[in-house]
């Protein structure tokens, strides 16, 4: 009998690792000790919760603060941290702690997990990333504690602060403070500011972090002006910061305009609160999932803008989901270069490779197809308004976690569809295609004559 020898490539191991984490998490959450009542949790509910935790989405079918015991919430928090950093990153962290040497395969896995183009100084990047993550989450927890301890007491206040800090940084959007998410704190400057900063820091990507810190240190030593410091940043960092700034504040202005007189959202707030909550809405749609206003009360124009922001998501090599800011900008640049009959795509005086352009197109196209198919399936099994179903699926595929109140009312089939959508959103639909794909190097060696095709 021949021995079964199955070798998975790095691009296949990463989706498989998330799937394993989800299954293990679901089995743990089914345990009686994980629920507040001491009763076993049904498998589908546990699976949904494990998926939304590992995929750092935030959609829930049962209230996190009420259904789960401390043990259950702790399991969820660990799954969120694992999902935010990635299974390969967590496994690599354990290897660093146990001083195990990294093989070439290990380095390739890390490189694919971080979506980096090179494995140069990979372990240094890993250590800096982990230190930065825990430092930022720790500072966030301390700042949250100044509000939560006076309100909930020491024990619950500390736990709520830690849970919220990890959840916000990992862009998970889950909380243990009550049924209204951040609704009770929409006028609290500390909670609102800390939450938005954690979401943004987690979503802009670790490469941007380190580049900004290195250039800032250099600027202080050599007394560069802020403009000079910005100019010395890498083209990736400048693109992420510029486009993220435009999306965040552009989204804020749009929500302020469309919701200004809506009494069900920000219509009854003062101008200061309207500005802050409009900014919070724009920030949380970048895959965070916290909310201060009911999403089912948004005007239809705001709902449409929400689809777009959730689809774009955060930036590469971070904790956010979506197709990513860089992908969206490259699509815009591709359109611009075609309209202007330009072959080269130049960003910050750097040429974008054709491989990057093809990848951006593939990621966006597969993402749109996934959302289209999942939305149709959800509408087939759950007869709900189309805007609610589309909001749910875009939120799931973008690992955002916002809902127009649909999630708890989904039937079993609807929950399975959303579970698949969340998983696809976390690993990326294009990764699932690659998971089942085989090498086509032989086909690439063939040369064909150029055909004539009429487009448009």
Name the domain count of the chain. Answer: 1
Contact in structure between 211 and 294 (CB atoms under 8 Å): no
The number of residues making up the chain comes to 456
CA 122 vs. chain centroid, Å, equals 22
- Could you give the residue ranges of the DSSP H alpha helices within 223-353? 226-231, 235-259, 271-284, 300-312, 325-339
Distance, CA of 107 to CA of 197 (rounded, Å): 31
**Residue 144: strand, helix, or coil:** helix
Range of the domain at 143: 11-433
| Rounded to 5°, angle at Cα 434 from 431 and 437 | 160
- Is 438 within the bounds of a domain? no
Distance, CA of 146 to CA of 104 (rounded, Å): 46
- Is 446 within the bounds of a domain? no
- Is 252 within the bounds of a domain? yes
Pairwise pLDDT comparison (318 vs 55), residue with the higher score? 55
- Quote the percentage of the chain above a pLDDT of 90: 54
Residue 77: predicted pLDDT: 95
- Is 69 within the bounds of a domain? yes
- φ/ψ of 68, rounded to 5, equals -95, 145
| Rounded to 5°, angle at Cα 251 from 349 and 215 | 40
> What single string gives the DSSP state of each residue in 334-347?
HHHHHHTT-S--EE
What does pTM read for this prediction?
0.87
Pairwise pLDDT comparison (122 vs 202), residue with the higher score? 202
* Least confident piece of the model among 4-8, 141-145, 172-176: 4-8
- Is 454 within the bounds of a domain? no
Q: Which residues of 204-235 are buried (b: 16+ CB within 10 A; e: fewer)?
A: bbbbbbbbbeebeeebeeeebeeeebbebbbe
- Is 448 within the bounds of a domain? no
Distance, CA of 430 to CA of 417 (rounded, Å): 18
Residue 95: predicted pLDDT: 58
Distance, CA of 356 to CA of 429 (rounded, Å): 17
Per residue in 269-289, pLDDT tens? 999 999 999 999 999 998 888
Mean per-residue pLDDT for 396-415? 92
What's the chain's Rg over C-alpha atoms? Answer: 22
Per residue in 166-199, pLDDT tens? 999 998 989 999 888 888 999 999 999 999 999 9
- Is 229 within the bounds of a domain? yes
Per residue in 349-374, pLDDT tens? 888 888 888 888 888 998 999 999 99
- Is 192 within the bounds of a domain? yes
């Amino acid at each position: 009998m021949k021995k079964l020898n199955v070798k998975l490539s790095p691009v296949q191991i990463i989706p498989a690792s998330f799937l394993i984490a989800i299954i293990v998490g679901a089995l743990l959450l089914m345990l009686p000790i994980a629920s507040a009542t001491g009763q076993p949790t049904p498998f589908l509910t546990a699976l949904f919760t494990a998926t939304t935790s590992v995929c750092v989405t935030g959609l829930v079918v049962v209230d996190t603060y009420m259904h789960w015991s401390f043990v259950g919430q702790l399991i969820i928090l660990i799954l969120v941290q694992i999902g935010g950093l990635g299974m390969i990153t967590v496994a690599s962290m354990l290897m660093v702690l146990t001083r195990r040497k990294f093989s070439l395969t290990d380095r390739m896995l890390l490189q694919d997990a971080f979506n980096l183009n090179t494995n140069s100084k990979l372990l240094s990047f890993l250590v800096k990333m982990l230190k930065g993550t825990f430092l930022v989450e720790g500072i966030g927890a301390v700042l949250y504690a100044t509000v939560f301890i006076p309100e909930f007491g020491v024990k619950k206040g500390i736990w709520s602060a830690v849970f919220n800090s990890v959840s916000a940084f990992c862009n998970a959007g889950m909380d243990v403070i009550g049924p209204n998410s951040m609704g009770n704190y929409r006028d609290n400057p500390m909670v609102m500011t800390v939450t938005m900063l954690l979401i943004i820091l987690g979503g802009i990507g670790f490469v941007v972090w380190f580049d900004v810190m290195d250039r800032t240190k250099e600027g202080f030593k050599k007394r560069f002006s802020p403009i000079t410091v910005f100019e010395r940043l890498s083209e990736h960092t400048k693109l992420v910061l510029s486009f993220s700034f435009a999306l965040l504040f552009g989204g804020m202005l749009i929500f302020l305009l469309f919701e200004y007189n809506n009494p069900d959202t920000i219509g009854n707030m003062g101008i200061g609160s309207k500005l802050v909550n409009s900014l919070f809405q724009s920030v949380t749609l970048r895959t965070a999932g916290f909310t201060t206003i009911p999403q089912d009360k948004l005007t239809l124009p705001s709902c449409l803008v929400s689809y777009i922001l959730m689809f774009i998501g955060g930036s590469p090599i971070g904790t956010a989901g979506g197709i990513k800011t860089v992908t969206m900008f490259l699509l815009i640049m591709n359109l611009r270069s075609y309209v202007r009959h330009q072959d080269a795509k130049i960003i910050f005086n750097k040429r974008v490779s054709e491989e990057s352009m093809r990848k951006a197109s593939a990621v966006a196209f597969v993402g749109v197809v996934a959302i289209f198919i999942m939305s149709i399936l959800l509408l087939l099994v759950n007869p709900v308004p189309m805007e609610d179903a589309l909001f749910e699926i875009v939120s799931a595929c973008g690992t955002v976690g916002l809902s127009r109140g649909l999630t708890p009312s989904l039937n079993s089939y609807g929950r399975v569809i959303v579970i698949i959508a969340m998983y696809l959103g976390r690993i990326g639909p294009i990764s699932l295609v690659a998971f089942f794909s085989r090498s086509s190097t032989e086909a690439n060696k063939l040369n064909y004559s150029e055909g004539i095709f009429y487009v448009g």
